[in-house]
Amino acid sequence: MYTMKKILLAAMAAMMLTSCLDNSKYYASSQLEIVFDNFRDLGGFDSADQEICVRPFCVGPIYFYNIITDDVDPQFVGGTAIARLADTTLFTRTTPLPHMTVWGNPADKESVAYSNYYVIYRDDSDTLKVPVCAFNYIYAQVGACAISSVEVNNTIENVASAMDANPNFAYNDGDWLKVSFTTYLKEKFYEPVELYLVDFRDSQKKVVTEWTKVDLSAMGNMEYMKVEVTSNREDAPRYVCLDNILGKYSIGSSE
């Protein structure tokens, strides 16, 4: 398993090797691209297709949060979980329900062998079950980070619920499920960017069934980001798949 120390050292080394985009403002700047492929060597997967409970973890300069119980058999409560391949099951209820991506492997990867890693964010109406934020920029005190886009997809459970194939839950006319992204900087926040994952409003039936890019470029620099999955239904499953987080980050302000 990758240790946090190794990941942090790798991130710092990458920043030192990169050329400055703006020498007048920052000592080092780089493109941000998080595709989770480094987790292909992560231990803990018992089978080819599953999620894994990993306590808060770091990928490059971004730190991801979750809540995991301290039981003998730890359970993922909320926040970010690592997943691989499309055929994934997370035991969050009495019987396992699939929380896998709808179609094949995660989006836009060159090699099938390394294309099967993404994260799933689990939200809950009970705020005690989710972390304060989904992720943050670990060098926010000495640099800047801006997320330009992220790709999202529904879990198969969401789609099954929209197609009357989930015995535990079904969407009806007028129901909806959406994901929203909000970035925060020095206690200020930008207007959330939203995408409806399931939309049965106004006599329509729209369901996200493929990886979809969400443009976050209007948000500007951030310290941390909140991801919220909300619905008009209190009992709706609240999951979203995330991959390909793109943007820019800098460290060492010269001002």
pLDDT bucket at 14, cuts 50 / 70 / 90: very low
User: Where do the DSSP E strands lie in 100-238?
Assistant: 117-122, 135-137, 143-153, 176-185, 188-189, 193-199, 206-207, 212-215, 224-231
- Per the structure, how many domains does the chain have? 1
The pLDDT, as a whole number, for residue 19 is: 31
pLDDT digits (tens, 9 = 90+) for 168-219: 889 999 999 999 999 999 878 888 999 999 999 998 999 988 889 999 999 9
Residue 64 scores a pLDDT above 80: yes
The pLDDT, as a whole number, for residue 255 is: 52
The two tokens of residue 145 are: 């980070």
pLDDT bucket at 25, cuts 50 / 70 / 90: low
Q: Which residue has the higher pLDDT, 97 or 178?
A: 178
The pLDDT, as a whole number, for residue 225 is: 96
Q: What CA–CA distance (Å, rounded) separates 158 from 173?
A: 15
Domain of residue 134, residue span: 4-253
pLDDT bucket at 118, cuts 50 / 70 / 90: confident
> CA separation (Å) from 186 to 190, 191, 223, 250?
11, 15, 7, 17
Looking up residue 246, the CATH number of its domain turns out to be 2.60.120.1350
What's the mean pLDDT when you consider all of the chain?
Answer: 76
pLDDT digits (tens, 9 = 90+) for 225-249: 999 999 999 999 899 989 999 999 9
pLDDT digits (tens, 9 = 90+) for 213-223: 999 999 989 99
The pLDDT, as a whole number, for residue 121 is: 93
Q: What is the identity of the amino acid at 105?
A: N
